Amino acid sequence: MAHDLRDDLELVGGDYYFDDDDDDFHEGFQTGSGGSSVLQHEQMDDTSASDCKEGKDIQGIPWKRLNYCRDQYRKMRLKEYKNYQNLTRSRSGLEQECKQVERKDAFYDFQSSTRAVKSTIVHFQVQKQVVSILSNWNINYRLRNLLWATSKHDVYLVQNYSVMHWSPLLQRGREVLNVAGQLTPTENVKGAGRLSRVQVSTMALKDNLMVAGGFQGELICKYIDKPGVAFCTNLTGNNNSITNTVDIYQAPNGATRVTAANNDCVVRTFDTERYSLLTQFTFPWSVNNTSVSPDGKLMAVLGDSSDCLLTDSQSGKEIATLRGHLDYSFASAWHPDGHVLATGNQDATCRLWDVRNLSESLAVLPGRIGAVRGLRFSPDGRFLAAAEAADFVHVYDAAAGYAGAEQELDLFGEVAGAAFSPDGEALFVSVADRTYGGVLEFRRRRSYGYLDSCFF
442 against 22, higher pLDDT: 442
- Examine residue 61 and state whether it is found in any structural domain, yes or no: no
User: What pLDDT was estimated at residue 9?
Assistant: 59
Q: Do the domain assignments include residue 20?
A: no
Question: Under DSSP, is residue 349 helix (H, G, I), strand (E, B) or coil?
Answer: strand
Looking at the domain assignment, is residue 452 inside a domain?
no
Using pLDDT thresholds of 50, 70 and 90, give the confidence band for residue 209: very high
Domain assignment of residue 33, yes or no: no
- Lowest mean pLDDT: which of 103-107, 394-398, 436-440? 103-107
What pLDDT band is residue 13 in, cutting at 50, 70 and 90?
Answer: very low
Q: What is the pLDDT of residues 60-86, one digit of tens each?
A: 999 998 988 999 999 999 999 988 888
Is residue 74 within 8 A of residue 409, CB to CB? The reply is no
Residue 58: inside a domain = no
| Position 202 in a domain | yes
Q: Distance between CA atoms of 67 and 353, rounded to whole angstroms?
A: 44
DSSP assignment of 184-222, as one string?
-BSS--TT---EES--EEEEEEETTEEEEEETTSEEEEE
Helix (H) or strand (E) holding 430: strand 426-432
Buried/exposed code over 201-215 (b: 16+ C-beta within 10 A; e: otherwise): bbbbbbeebbbbbbb
Beta strands 147-151 and 108-114 are unpaired
Give dist(CA 357, CA 254) in Å, integer: 27
- Region of residue 198 (left: phi > 0; alpha: psi -120 to 50; beta: else): beta
Angle at 441 between CA 8 and CA 337, to 5 degrees: 125
Residue 330 sits in a domain whose CATH number is 2.130.10.10
pLDDT at 136: 40
Domain containing 264 equals: 93-124+137-444
Tally of structural domains, the chain: 1
78 in any annotated domain: no
342, containing H or E segment? strand 340-345
Tell me the C-alpha distance between 185 and 183, whole Å.
7
Q: Is 86 a domain residue?
A: no
